Chains A and B, each alone.
Chain A
Amino acid sequence: MMSGTPSNPVYRKRLWMHRIGIAMSFFAMAVGLSFLMWILATLFINGVKALNPGMLTQSTPAPGSEGGGLMNAIVGSLMMVGASTAISTPIGIFAGIYLAEYGERSMIAKVTRFVTDIMLSAPSIVIGLFVYAVYVANVKHFSGWAGTFAISLIAIPVVVRTTDNMLRLVPNSLLEAAFALGAPRWKVATMVRLRAVKAGVMTGILLALARVSGETAPLLFTALNNQFFSANMNAPLANLPVVIFQFAMSPYDNWRSLAWGGALLVTFSVLALNILSRTLFQQKIQG
């Protein structure tokens, strides 16, 4: 930085433009960080009030009745997220393997990569509409399986993209060494290439998990919601995001308090998964 004001007016003006620009950049960073802290602080303050053992052991209360918890919602969410991870992980990894292995020359691979990136940012409510039209309207009832289907469709592009990017990072010399030893292509793709980036692929799965845990819109008209405890995936299943949606906009105090508690749970697990996947990946790169 220049010390003292230059005498030339042109230089002075340029220096001031520079100082204003840099100050605005500091300001923008401060604004971004303060919004983050504001949101997290609000969440924490309001959510901690609702945290008590009852929240994890009792089902959602009926309108107007006291107390209650979020157990059925938590269980339902865990079931749907778990099932969707089981579905989306193999599909995503295999698709990612195709894109990385055969992606250089194949037109299908280029188009698939393009479409995957678009589906990553596509509106999730449209995915809910799609699953409704294809599945729910045909079987004539909402169900946990429909919800699982919807959130798998959201998780698959995340896993595909991460796997594809990770696999393409493997150095060619490693692959050529495997080929030179006479390994068939499928063995090189799985046992050499995939194994080399295991940690990165795990990161992708964790990120998909984090993304999917917070999604509400696709569950609104696929899994709907259930006031009581149910482990039946073939019927409307309680889930945390939709319960939060319903309770937050309601006039009952205990419902709103439960909504904040649920919001704290969801955010905490999503952020923990995000940070976990980052640290896991960094360790593998350095270690």
Chain B
Amino acid sequence: MDGIRDCGADAFWPFPYMSSTISSAAMPVIKQTAMEPSISVEQHGASDKGLVATMRNQRWQDFLFHKVTLLFALTVLLMLVGIIISLAVGAWPAFREFGLSFITTVEWDPVNDKYGGLIAIVGTLVTSLIALVIAFPLSFGIALFLTEICPVWLRRPLGTAVELLAGVPSIIYGMWGLFVFAPLFGDYVQPLLAHTLGQLPVVGQLFKGPMMGIGILTAGLILSVMIIPFISSVMRDVFEVVPAVLKESAYGLGCTKWEVVRKIVLPYTKNGVVGGVMLGLGRALGETMAVTFVIGNAQHLSWSLFAPGNSIASTLANEFAEAESTLHVSSLFALGLILFAITFIVLSAAKLMLIGMSRKEGVK
């Protein structure tokens, strides 16, 4: 401590315990080099009046700048609050009419003005679940390849290629799905699934039914291709954060690469992996155009995955522009509110998990 007191480092930080080494005459000088013009004009003479005026102006400008940028930053918050309020206001008539049973009713009857959201909600959840189940192992494999196996010169091009999957607009996925993927799926893959998995006792129910190519399973598959880049990019980021020391000590003990990933990298990045998966889920829940093309737009619920169905987003896309009665419009708003609520909860959970992961980033 004595060494610190003796050196001149205290010129920048007038710490309390060093005050005895700083003369009282020096203290006002240190205060003056800060941003606040706490000197009076008389202390420095009339020639510095311009300087004081400039500093006063600058305080004003800084104050204005702070307020203006704060205003713009608040627009994002305002957006969120506005969305929630407008959806709630629009959905109110439907909830007043049907109550909370709106969520569990299967009917969707524009002719008789009776609406229930279960078909759309189930469709959304089932397609997203299928997408997740398929995309998770694929994204894990891709992230593993890009971080551990790929030679360094190949990493950027391949990584960019995977990111391009995220850049392709969703309507392109819909068109490709409807015109190219669905016919092939219906002609070759669906009969195969019906013959193999469809024969099993309980699971078989999922794979029976008309093999049209479009339906809930197809929508889930196309969604999985869409969310692969999101999940794999988050996984890549968290895999790269693992300290090299941990991996090297595992290799030093004779672990194979696969064992290092399974037993060292994955447990370390658990939070990040879960966060990435939930981010992909959040994306899949809200996807509109790709699903609208291939889900078949049928308002009925069935056990078979081959059957056409509906998701919240596709219901909105198909029916909103032509909805007539206020109850129809309001029911669509109610569906939108439910979708937004589900997505908001899933994405918040994902963000919280990823924040937990970024805390580990500084660990050496």
Contacts and interface: CB of A to CB of B under 8 A. Distances in A.
Given A25-B149, A35-B225, A119-B79, A266 B69 contact: no
Given A123-B288, A185-B62, A112 B77 contact: yes
Interface in A108-150: 108-109, 111-112, 114-119, 121-127, 129-130, 132-134
A129 B333 contact: yes
Contacts of A29: 141-142, 145-146, 158
Given A95-B75, A129-B336, A130-B86, A189 B138 contact: no
A248 B293 contact: yes
Interface in A17-43: 17-18, 20-22, 24-29, 31-33, 35-36, 38-40, 42-43
Contact of B75 (A40, A121, A156, A214): A156
Nearest to A99: B73
Interface string B145-178: 1100100000000101111110111111111101
B73 A123 contact: no
A123 B65 CA distance: 33
A157 interface: yes
A46 B178 CA distance: 13
Interface string B237-281: 000000000000000000011110110000000000000000100
Contacts of B58: 184
A217 interface: yes
B169 A270 contact: yes
A144 to B, nearest CB: 16
A40 B68 CA distance: 44
B94 interface: no
Given A26-B145, A126-B339, A259 B347 contact: no
A226 interface: no
A273 B334 CA distance: 36
Nearest to A157: B76
Given A22-B258, A127-B83, A130-B82, A36 B165 contact: yes
B65 A160 contact: no
A153 interface: yes
B38 to A, nearest CB: 15
A125 B282 contact: no
A160 B75 CA distance: 11
A98 interface: yes
B25 interface: no
A151 to B, nearest CB: 13
A15 B228 CA distance: 28
Interface in A234-287: 241, 244-245, 248-249, 259-260, 263, 266-267, 270-271, 274-275, 278
A184 B61 contact: yes
A219 B177 CA distance: 21
B87 A133 contact: yes
Interface string B318-353: 001100000000001100100110011001100100
Interface string A151-180: 001001100100000000000000000010
B72 A98 contact: yes
Interface residues of A, number: 88
B257 A22 contact: yes
B293 A217 contact: no
Q: Which of A27, A123, A179, A245 has the most CB of B within 10 A?
A: A123
A244 B82 CA distance: 30
B132 interface: no
Contact of B73 (A21, A25, A108): A108
A79 interface: no
Contacts of A244: 171, 175
Contacts of A80: none
Nearest 5 CB-CB pairs, A to B? A28-B141, A214-B169, A123-B286, A98-B69, A18-B256
20 contacts: A18-B256, A21-B258, A28-B142, A29-B142, A29-B145, A42-B176, A94-B73, A95-B73, A111-B77, A112-B73, A118-B347, A119-B80, A121-B282, A123-B285, A126-B286, A133-B87, A213-B169, A221-B321, A224-B321, A260-B175
Given A32-B165, A210-B167, 8 more contacts: A28-B139, A91-B72, A111-B77, A126-B343, A186-B61, A186-B65, A214-B170, A216-B169
